[in-house]
Structure formats: structure tokens, C-alpha cells
Amino acid sequence: MTTTPARRNRSAYDDLVLAELRRSGALSRAELSRRTGLPKTTLFSIVAGLLEGGVLVEQSADDTAGRGRGRPATRVVLNPSAGLYAGFDIGRNRMRLVIVNTSHEVVASGMHDLPSAVRADIVAPAAADLLRRTADEAAVAPSTLTAIGAGLVGLVGVEWKPEEIEALRTCMAEEFGVPVVLGNNSRAEALAEATWGAGRSVEDLVYVRWSTGIGGGLVVSGRAVTGAHGRASEIGHVSVDPSGKPCHCGGRGCLEGVAGGAALLEQCARQGLALADLDALIAAVRNLSPTAARVVSTAADRLGRVLAGTAAQLDPSRIVVGGELAQLGSLVLDPIRQAISRLTLPRAAERVDVVQADLGVNAAALGAVTLLLRDEPTST
């Protein structure tokens, strides 16, 4: 049977609608029309056909409650039974997992501590075991997986050698028989916040992951920026003291070395306050420990100084701060805002929102799923 131009167009329109829903999750028909550029009459016809075929389903919009009279607004979303995606956040000492359906709903999650996060021979079997255990507990069949994404901590050539990345990809792909996409976990978090979280309403944002180390991600015009060598947004490796101590990246006096979580624990210890981990540091700040509060506030100011330069160069709509230390809210966000206000063009500071991330501890694992759904660049 000959394929007519009308049929080809219809198929292309179907693909356009499905790709946008895959990226963004549930959307109203009006939002879909705006994002795809399709006229409303065409869009409505496409959606009707996909609903009839069971490819899409309708759901009530979250914000329709209390609108009063009239037909409740609805959104359309990919049929959640169409497949599952697994997303891993592989950190320095902990691995997190989410299993997400095509409607962007988390159906299962899990966590596993790692003795070391930078060796493929440790990470690969641990990831496979965590995925099987989590799927079993949630009564999810691994055979229904469509693809696996993983966000990896650190830099290629430093924490991860290229051959280790390929070994990890190959091992997981062979274990589950599905495509595996790997990327940097901080940039994955940036995508997750841009897709579902604190950055969803803007097109241009800077994301900072403030944890044991400091990472980042840039989203420009709605897409992740990785740079020519896959190392864009490595804000933790901006030198704040060229004569400072050596960093594992090969530089000196990096921001991560003075303001990362590991550095803050060391600073507290030198001032007589021994803390076991970041959770203990956060608790100490909340309990009004003068030492902990001073150390964290100074680090927030240093982070803000670096972000001021980033904001001046990129002019983002929003700066989103995630990671464990972002849990302190205004205690860290205010010093960051004040540093940006001091050090950028006066009117530029007024236009940059500095906000806490929305997605919590599973942000990077969700971000690994967005690497699959948004077809973003995946260089670590």
C-alpha cells in the first residue's frame, strides 16, 4: 500500500506529540499545542486518535480543584502500562534507584551503600542486584524495562576512566537486555529539576548540587549544555584560591576543596566539632551550633561568589540549589543571594531567582530517566 503525504504527516505529528509527552509528562491539549507548534484542530485530532488507540490516557489536572463551574480541565499522558524506565544515581558512597513509568510516575525506589563508587566491577553487580531487589519488592517484572539510565559522579579521566564507563554500560545492558545511557549525575539532576521540579517554568537555569562535592548543570533554551568536552558546569572545579591545596581534578584551590561537604566536615573538626557526616552537619546547624553555622555560612558565601560570575556570564532566569546542604533553606540560600547581589550588575541580580531544588534525594536518579526521555547529550 502506498504511503500518502497525508499519512506521512500524520505519523510525523504522532511522533512529535509522543516525544513531547515523553519529555515533559502530562500536559493539557493547549500546552501540547503550544510546545509542538501544531494548530489546535490538528493537535486535538492527533490526541483523539492516540487516546482511541490506547497509546495515551487522560487524567485530571492537578490544578483544577476549586475552579468552580465548567468542565474540569484534563491532561493527556503516555499510557503508564506502555513500559518502565530505571534511573540510577551512582554517587561516591551511595547508589539510588527509581523505576518510572511512561507517565513519569515513580513506581519503585531503592538505595544501596557502596564501599567505592568509581569501579565498574563493584558498581555493575551492585546496580543489577539493587534493580532486581527493588523490582521484586514492588512486584515489577524487570522484563518490562524499556531502558536504563545512570548518572555518575565525577569526571571522565579522574573518577572514571573511559574504559570503565564502557564496561559498566556493557555489563548492565547484557544483564537486562535493554539500552543503557550514562551521564553525569549533577547534569542529570539539572534536567530533572528542569523537567519536573523547581526549574520547570523557565527555559534557562543554573543548577548546583551541593553535597560531599560540588557539581552543576546548565539548561539553556530548555536543553542541557555539556560543552565541547562534556565538562560544562563543573562549578566545583572553579579555582577560588590559585595557591590553595591541590584538588583531585588536577587543579588548585577549587571551590569543592573549600566549600564541598567533605571540606566542611574537616573545617568543623579542626575547630573542635567532630561530625560523622553531612546529616550530622545539617543537624548541628539547625541546632544552632556556632561553629557549624559559621562554617556553612562562609561556604555559602564562597559558593555565591562563584555563582555571581556564572550569573553575569549566562544571565539565567533561575539558580536552583540541590544536594544535602540545600536542605538548610534560607540559611544557605540567603548568603548565596547576598553574594550574587554584591557582585553582579545591580539590575541583573534582581532578575535571578535563587531557589531550593524540589526533587529531594532522588533528583539525580530521576535525572537519569530524563536522559532517556529527552534524548539529551550523555557525556559524563
Q: What is the pLDDT of residue 2?
A: 40
**Hey, what CATH class is 5-78 in?**
mainly alpha
pLDDT digits (tens, 9 = 90+) for 309-324: 999 888 899 999 999 9
Q: What percent of the chain has pLDDT over 70?
A: 89
Question: Which residue is associated with the grid cell 544552632?
Answer: 288
Q: What is the pLDDT of residue 118?
A: 62
**Would you list the domain boundaries of the chain?**
5-78, 82-187+364-373, 202-357
Predicted TM-score of the model (pTM): 0.77
With a cut of 50, say whether residue 107 has pLDDT above it.
yes
CB atoms within 10 A of CB 323: 24
With a cut of 80, say whether residue 95 has pLDDT above it.
yes
CATH superfamily membership of 82-187+364-373: ATPase, nucleotide binding domain (3.30.420.40)
pLDDT digits (tens, 9 = 90+) for 249-291: 888 999 999 999 999 999 999 999 999 999 999 999 999 999 9
353-356 sheet: strands from edge to edge: 223-225, 214-220, 205-210, 318-322, 353-356
DSSP 154-202: S-BTTTB-HHHHHHHHHHHHHHHSS-EEEEEHHHHHHHHHHHHSTTTT-
Q: What is the pLDDT of residue 271?
A: 96
Q: What is the pLDDT of residue 308?
A: 93
Whether 202-357 and 82-187+364-373 are alike in CATH topology: the answer is yes
Q: What is the pLDDT of residue 68?
A: 45
Q: What average pLDDT does this structure show over 348-356?
A: 79
pLDDT band for 132, please (50, 70, 90 cuts): very high
With a cut of 60, say whether residue 63 has pLDDT above it.
no
Q: What is the pLDDT of residue 238?
A: 94
Q: What average pLDDT does this structure show over 65-84?
A: 67
pLDDT digits (tens, 9 = 90+) for 216-250: 999 998 888 888 877 788 899 999 998 889 998 88
The amino acid present at 332, given as its one-letter code, is V
Give the CB-side neighbour count of residue 57, counting CA atoms within 13 A: 10
With a cut of 60, say whether residue 51 has pLDDT above it.
yes
With a cut of 90, say whether residue 52 has pLDDT above it.
no
The better pLDDT of the pair 130, 57 is held by 130
With a cut of 50, say whether residue 205 has pLDDT above it.
yes
202-357 maps to CATH 3.30.420.40: yes
- CA dist., res. 217 & res. 233, Å (int): 5
Q: What percent of the chain has pLDDT over 90?
A: 44
